[in-house]
Amino acid sequence: MPQTRVPLKDPMFSALLAFLVPGLGHFYQRRMFKAVLYAVCILGTFFTGMRIGHGQVVYFNWQSTENRTYAYLCQFWVGLPALPALAQAELRSSRAFDVNYMPKPMTSQFAGKLTAETSDFDGPIAGSITLRPHELNMPHLWTGKLSGELQTAKGPVKIEGDVTPGSGSLDPEVAPSEKRRLSGTFEGRTSEQPDVVIRGGLEGHIPRPIWNSYEAPLRDLRVNDFAGDQTDLDRAHFLLGSRFELGVVFTMIAGLLNILAIYDALEGPAYDGEEEEGAAAEPTPAPA
């Protein structure tokens, strides 16, 4: 390869920057056109795939041969946007993926639906819920207190009461979804009718922080060995259909494209004179 006129500065450092953030290595080299081109195209392709797959298509699982995420070997090369998948899989406690695990009290917003024993109190409910481990100090048993506004057929009413799991459950702390599902039984009262006890089933969700959802692994472990038991991966394929595979392909393409960008930051353009970004052209000698 002939010597290029493009100043590559420190090629190894540029390649590292190009790996961490697509286009950053070229920005460091003052190759602005390619910096913008790679950043827009590669990051755009990656996050488009994430959007298509509802944020569930980039994760790392290497525990079993049957369920290894070979697609991540391509997605990895996008750099920082894909690296949290490694941290979620390798650094999180195994209990963070357990259903009903509640190690310490927490307060969060809640939105869902109450199905009461009397239809007068059926309807959507939104408010604040406080969850805590059971008094027996068993983290897989929890109780809660819900305070919010219930939308009934006669209008909104203020409601407050206790929530227990019953036959319901609380989704794991870490999962690839912004919403953490919660279901259980409710017993409480309204401010308008304090003498009337309201009992029923409660279903809804609380928000899951981004550090507990971004690129969290889809669990592919079947708890009960019968056809109706769905794993997280089964549920994702069922809900997304072909969009799941399409999202995987988009994110894989983004990683493969960035390999080419990394090489370009390391070695420069393939042909001499292809770029003159960041470097002044050699002065033309004045005629005699």
Exposed, middle or buried, 83 (CB in 10 Å: 0-12/13-18/19+)? middle
What pLDDT does residue 6 have? Answer: 73
- Residue boundaries of the structural domains of the chain: 1-94+233-273, 98-212
Token digits of residue 222: 């079947």
What pLDDT does residue 163 have? Answer: 93
Phi, psi of 218 (to 5 degrees): -80, 125
Distance of CA 167 to the CA centre of its chain: 28
Q: Write the CB contacts of 200 (distance below 8 Å, at least 6 apart in sequence).
A: 114, 115, 116, 117, 121, 122, 185, 186
Exposed, middle or buried, 154 (CB in 10 Å: 0-12/13-18/19+)? exposed
What pLDDT does residue 224 have? Answer: 45
What pLDDT does residue 237 have? Answer: 86
What pLDDT does residue 5 have? Answer: 64
Q: In angstroms, rounded to a whole number, what is the distance separating the alpha carbons of residues 132 and 142?
A: 6
What pLDDT does residue 255 have? Answer: 97
Paired with 170 in beta bridges are: 182
The closest of 82, 134, 126 to 105, measured between CA atoms, is: 134
What pLDDT does residue 229 have? Answer: 58
What pLDDT does residue 281 have? Answer: 45
- pLDDT means per 10 residues, the chain with 288 residues, are 69 96 95 95 97 93 79 96 93 88 90 87 92 76 91 88 89 90 92 85 94 88 52 83 94 97 90 55 52
Q: In angstroms, rounded to a whole number, what is the distance separating the alpha carbons of residues 89 and 76?
A: 14
